[in-house]
Amino acid sequence: MVDNATLLAIDWGTSSLRGALLGADGAVLDERASSRGILTVEPGGFPAVFEAEFGDWHARAPLTLISGMAGSKQGWVEAPYCACPAGAADIAGTLAWIAPGRIAIVPGLTCEHDGAPDVMRGEEVQIFGTLDLLGLADGRFVLPGTHSKWADVQDGRVRGFATAMTGEFYALLRKHSILARTLPADEAAFDAAAFDDAVRGALAARGLLGSAFTVRTLALFERLGAAALESRLSGLVIGEELRAQGDLRGQDVIVIGSAGLTARYERALAIAGARARPMHAQATWRGLWNVARSLPAR
């Protein structure tokens, strides 16, 4: 074991806790994951969980940076959102220090659009990491998920972003709506044709309130099987998300997400005429390393 650790990078989310020990060049020396997401931690219990899960690594690294929901109201310490435009250096300047110079929580980002604020917490670190890994300073990003984030980056800073509650709408419709009655109880195999057709339909449709009902009517008239209906619903919500971004033809979009979801967004973006660039590598550690590098010399 060589003692060249420079950073303990931690992604403390709602339902998971992951960490990595990084070397001088940002290389990942070791990784570790546990199920102690913030929902499992009682108020005041964060220091003890941190010590139990990462005490040994913390002793070896001069600095620990934590991103994710650990910085929310329900987390360890609330880290107020950093206003856009914001890059790794802006983030580094607004850390919420737990142990000055030793442990800090990375703030999320906020921006204003359409008369209301928008927020992200954790995705910005993945964006900064991806910029570094791909050697880019500009780009349009989508981070698909429960709450997908679309972000525009210029000169290494997030200029603005928008949330789409795509994954959550899918889950609500899949589990709790009238559509659940005609969908298979268990997850079905992916049906590419039904998915693609639904994406095309959603891109041409006026909105999800209407298009979602086709999952029911196509079942009613037995024009689509139960397994295909599930892929149709997935295509409808993802297609609706893309429709709401405006004309995507000819655009490059960097997709950061799980392998399965990224593959679906690649398909959907291609149908919308965009060029999708999937980012499969782990970008969070690299992003936190970039924030650490942006700190003033100590």
Where do contacts with a copy of itself occur on this chain (CB under 8 A)? Answer: 114-119, 147, 162-166, 168-169, 172-173, 176-178, 197, 201, 204-214, 217-218, 220-221, 223, 237, 240-241, 243-246
Q: Which two tokens stand for residue 32?
A: 């570790």
- Judged by beta carbon, residue 102 or residue 113, the one nearer a copy of itself is 113
- Judged by beta carbon, residue 102 or residue 206, the one nearer a copy of itself is 206
- At its nearest, how many Å lie between a copy of itself and the CB of residue 38? 14
- At its nearest, how many Å lie between a copy of itself and the CB of residue 212? 6
Q: Which amino acid appears at position 147 of this protein?
A: H
- Judged by beta carbon, residue 34 or residue 245, the one nearer a copy of itself is 245
Question: Taking Cα atoms as reference points, which of 122, 120, 109 lies closest to residue 81?
Answer: 109
Distance CA 258, CA 143 (A): 9
- β-pairing verdict for 28-34 and 64-67: unpaired
SS3 category, 194:
helix
- Judged by beta carbon, residue 166 or residue 284, the one nearer a copy of itself is 166
Distance CA 232, CA 181 (A): 15
- At its nearest, how many Å lie between a copy of itself and the CB of residue 255? 17
- Judged by beta carbon, residue 92 or residue 173, the one nearer a copy of itself is 173
- Judged by beta carbon, residue 163 or residue 251, the one nearer a copy of itself is 163
- At its nearest, how many Å lie between a copy of itself and the CB of residue 234? 14
- At its nearest, how many Å lie between a copy of itself and the CB of residue 139? 20
- In the chain, which ranges are continuous DSSP H helix? 46-60, 88-92, 123-134, 166-176, 192-204, 208-211, 213-220, 226-243, 259-271, 284-293
Distance CA 164, CA 150 (A): 8
- At its nearest, how many Å lie between a copy of itself and the CB of residue 93? 21
